[in-house]
Amino acid sequence: MKTIKSMMEHLYWADGRILDALEESGTKNKDLLKLVRHVAIAERVWLSRLQGKSSAQYSLWGDAEDLTAIRNMFEENAEHYRAYIEGLKEFELDELIDYANQSGVPFQTSARDILSQVLLHGQYHRGQINRALRIESAEPVQVDYITFARLNMTD
């Protein structure tokens, strides 16, 4: 559980850093904003599934223009993931979660694998966002786990 908790704390930190970088860049790139919204919505979709709820109401690739609304989504996600993980026992990480994907196809996946998906999916897209920032001549932001770990060594 310690590793999952630490990696999730990294996710919240990295989400915040990428949002700060987007705000500082002043980008109006609709595809870039759509991508960061996608990350927030995907986190929400997976959390719904972990909680045994439907995720059918979420559109993974909707348009976005308001970084404040996206930041609020990320903050709400962090709050709900923290509560979920605090209530999770080690053995429950390997229990299978029944859910349907966005097309309605049923699946069973362990909570551990779902959380791993959330972590890796976000990092993948944060890398894409950083690349796009560089292309726009904006400064990409450091979101590597090791940077997070070094900053939190005293914790």
Identify the weakest region by mean pLDDT among 1-10, 13-22, 58-67: 58-67
Residues 6 or more apart in contact with residue 1 via CB below 8 angstroms: 85, 88, 90, 93
Determine if residue 121 is labeled as part of a ligand binding site: yes
Residue 101 has pLDDT above 90, yes or no: yes
2-151 has CATH 3.20.20.30 classification: no
Q: Which residue has the tokens 């890398």?
A: 127
**Residue that wins the pLDDT comparison between 137 and 79:** 79
| pTM recorded for the entire structure | 0.93
Strand partners, 109: 97
Residue 155 has pLDDT above 70, yes or no: no
Average pLDDT score, the chain: 94
Determine if residue 125 is labeled as part of a ligand binding site: yes
SS3 102: coil
The 10 Å Cβ neighbour count of residue 21 is 21
- Parse the chain into domains and list their residue ranges: 2-151
Number of helices (H) and strands (E), helices first, in the chain? 5, 2
